[in-house]
Amino acid sequence: MIDIDHFKNVNDTYGHSTGDIVLQSLARTLLKTAREQDIVARTGGEEFSILLPEAKKDKAKIFAERIREIVSESEMGTKEIEIQITISIGVAEICPNEDKDDIYNRADSALYRAKSAGRNRVEVA
């Protein structure tokens, strides 16, 4: 699970239309970084999820760190307004006999740990 840090500030400072452009820029970055078999989805306001089929927790964390770095080093926005954002990420590996709510809740908890620990971080469930 991926969440843009302090996204409300982007909307409040630059307006919702610029916020939408930032969301679109992030989505393009996630899609470019993901493998062909990965599934990238926007799951909420400024929240995205990436499913990494057959990736174990250690590989998923490496992938998440790479995305976090790429985003923090990129400028997003418009030609007139370049905005730097950071993201927090929660990583969870599907466990045997686990349903979609369980994996979602564990990834969400890891995401909130990343936010609580200072943002612009990856935490693993």
- DSSP codes of every residue in 69-110: HHHHH--EE-SS-EE---EEEEE-PPPTT--HHHHHHHHHHH
Domains of the chain: 2-124 (3.30.70.270)
Q: At what angle do helices 16-33 and 57-73 cross, to 10 degrees?
A: 140
Quick one: pLDDT at residue 78? 81
pLDDT tens digits, 81-108:
889 999 999 999 998 899 989 999 999 9
Quick one: pLDDT at residue 14? 93
Quick one: pLDDT at residue 79? 81
Q: Judge contact between 123 and 110, C-beta under 8 A.
A: yes
Q: What is the pTM of this model?
A: 0.94
> What pairing do the DSSP bridges indicate for beta strands 2-4 and 39-44?
unpaired
Residues of the chain with pLDDT under 70: none
Q: What's the rounded Cα separation, in Å, for the pair 40 and 52?
A: 9
Which tokens go with 105?
A: 């809740």
Contacts 24+ apart (CB under 8 A), 42-45: 43/1, 45/7
Give backbone dihedrals phi and psi of 49, rounded to 5 degrees, phi first: -135, 145
- Rounded to the nearest 10°, the torsion over CA 26, 121, 63, 98 is -100
Nearest to 12 by CA among 60, 49, 46: 46
Which tokens go with 61?
A: 């964390």
Positions annotated as catalytic residues are 46
